[in-house]
Amino acid sequence: MAVEKRKYRIDTDRGRIVLDRFELPFPRNRVGRIITGTALIGGGILGFLPVLGFWMVPLGLFVLSHDLPAVRRRRRRMAIWWRKRYPAVNRAGKR
């Protein structure tokens, strides 16, 4: 049986964030990931400006959840809450 890879993940072997068909470079060291995640959240807070966007906040939290246990726990709790609240909604990529 073949193991299906998740469509939304952090590929630490190649240093990439995989978002379905898109791949973004990802810092391989911990300090770089924390700085990148913090910068994305800071840019997302300023999302009303023309170049920045509110989409940066969840991406920054996703990057930080790789290294910070407190952020990871909150992300997991939210994912569990979402599945309990909306059980009929299919998982990302599943039809």
Structural domain boundaries in the chain: 29-85
1 — pLDDT class (breaks 50, 70, 90): very low
Q: Which helix (H) or strand (E) holds 9?
A: strand 8-11
Q: What tens digit of pLDDT does each residue of 32-88 get?
A: 889 989 998 999 998 888 878 888 888 888 889 888 899 889 988 988 898 888 887
pTM for the full predicted model: 0.68
Report how far apart, in Å, the C-alpha atoms of 50 and of each of 1, 45, 47, 53, 54 are.
48, 12, 8, 8, 11
The structure tokens listed for 63 are 């990057």
4 — pLDDT class (breaks 50, 70, 90): low
Output the pLDDT for position 22: 83
Whether 55 and 44 have beta carbons less than 8 Å apart is answered as yes
